[in-house]
Amino acid sequence: MDLFPVLRELHQKSEAKILLVVLDGVGGLPLEPGGPTELEAAKTPNLDRLAAESALGLLTPVHPGLTPGSGPGHLALFGYDPFRYVVGRGALSALGLGADFREGDVALRGNFATLSPEGVVLDRRAGRPSTEENARVVARLREAIPRIEDVEVHFYTESEHRFLVVLRGEGLGDGVTDTDPQKTGLPPLEAQALDGASAKTTRVVNLLAERIRQVLRDEPKLNGALFRGASGKPAFPKVGEVFGLKAAAIASYPMYRGLAALVGMEVLPVEGEGDAHEGKLGALKENWERFDFFYLHFKKTDAKGEDGDFWGKVGEVERFDALLPEILALKPDVLALTGDHSTPALLRAHSWHPVPLLLKAPHLREDEARRFTEGEAQRGSLGHLRGVELMPLLLAHAGRLLKYGA
């Protein structure tokens, strides 16, 4: 059901400030039956105190049984039906990087990968190189591959193993399948056209992947590329018009900055490299009086899960816990803490499992949950929600919605 027409009619002004904190991929699983999840293993005294005075529940980001990518997971948290508002990862990276991305272009998110001499994927992330190493290799590709056939090829460094390609030319469509096999031990997939309008793009993508292998054949690790998320430039309704919010986003990684820009949030600059916690807190404090709504994103919980690093993910949860008092000192009227999906270290990938949701706000019912964990969230008074149901709940607790109906 599309609630946007209803929410446009019901939203009203309020002085209340809303803070949505997203610990990317926060949900987990035990390494062995009966063991703790990453959240349960973490020592989180500040989160424990917050949970004791908050309401908790479980949140299914997109739909039961579906493993969401970060795009649909985040769009749902922002209140956008991820089955109606669909965008490829390439467009999100392009928007987040501020790339020259025009109507008619097609953007693709790339992963540098390590391929064997036989062309089998040995490492889908090429050992997570530094962003500086990424930039060096991207510079090689810019010089060597300015175009494929009559299509301009524009390369951009994103971060670590991630890069962006923007294709520009006549007759391009974005109905192109991914080339990432999603596991090692297999060769990259050949891109396939999903419609007739995308046949040319598909041919160019396959030629580009082969050309990249030729150019980078002397690189020890960054010697191949996997593509996904082909997308033209989208246009979505903005949070200001739908929810009446003046919203800001604080995130380091281009994809999440792109998601926020796509829905009309002002993307704030963040000082520092990688998942710069102190830079994010600085941006939050400096801009606290300027906005009604803040989206604050932390990435490394997801990255450690994808690496299969259970205790590294535990450490990232504890690192966030240490920052929590500074966030709470700002006294947000409505605070929500959740994830865009689960990334259990056990699986080394996103999963379909619900994530815990914490809500600290006025007019909450009494709650028995005492920790921000999957098990405690099952005991909470919020019950089990879908991702798209979160934003109306935040608006209601902030006094930003009028009564519906007579």
- Do 294 and 336 touch, CB atoms closer than 8 A? no
| Residue that finishes a domain, picked among 231, 250, 283 | 231
Q: Are residues 244 and 207 in the same domain?
A: no
Say how far residue 378 (Cα) sits from the centre of its chain: 24
Q: Is the pLDDT of residue 273 over 80?
A: no
Q: Are residues 317 and 393 in the same domain?
A: yes
pLDDT at res. 194: 96
Q: For residue range 155-185, what is the model confidence (pLDDT) as tens digits? A: 999 989 999 999 999 999 999 999 999 999 9
pTM of the full structure = 0.82
Q: Distance between CA atoms of 58 and 332, rounded to whole angstroms?
A: 22
The angle subtended at Cα 300 by Cα 225 and Cα 298, nearest 5°, is 115
Element (H, E) at 220: none
Asked, for residue 405, whether it belongs to a domain, the answer is no
**Confidence class of residue 292 from pLDDT cuts 50, 70 and 90?**
very high
pLDDT at res. 96: 83
The total of structural domains in the chain comes to 2
Q: Are residues 98 and 201 in the same domain?
A: yes
Q: Are residues 178 and 294 in the same domain?
A: no
Asked, for residue 347, whether it belongs to a domain, the answer is yes
Q: Are residues 261 and 384 in the same domain?
A: yes
* CA proximity to 102, closest of 274, 234, 246: 234
Helices (H) and strands (E) in the chain, counts: 14, 14
Q: Distance between CA atoms of 127 and 107, rounded to whole angstroms?
A: 24
Q: Are residues 213 and 282 in the same domain?
A: no
Q: Are residues 167 and 312 in the same domain?
A: no
Q: Are residues 224 and 100 in the same domain?
A: yes
Q: Are residues 15 and 67 in the same domain?
A: yes
Containing structural domain, residue 170: 92-231
Which whole number is the average pLDDT over 247-259?
Answer: 92
- Pairing outcome for strands 147-148 and 55-60: unpaired
Q: For residue range 45-87, what is the model confidence (pLDDT) as tens digits? A: 999 999 999 999 999 999 999 999 999 999 999 999 999 998 8
| Residue that finishes a domain, picked among 169, 202, 231 | 231
Q: For residue range 100-156, what is the model confidence (pLDDT) as tens digits? A: 999 999 999 999 999 999 999 999 999 999 999 999 999 999 999 999 999 999 999
What CATH number is attached to the domain comprising 360?
3.40.720.10
- Do 70 and 337 touch, CB atoms closer than 8 A? no
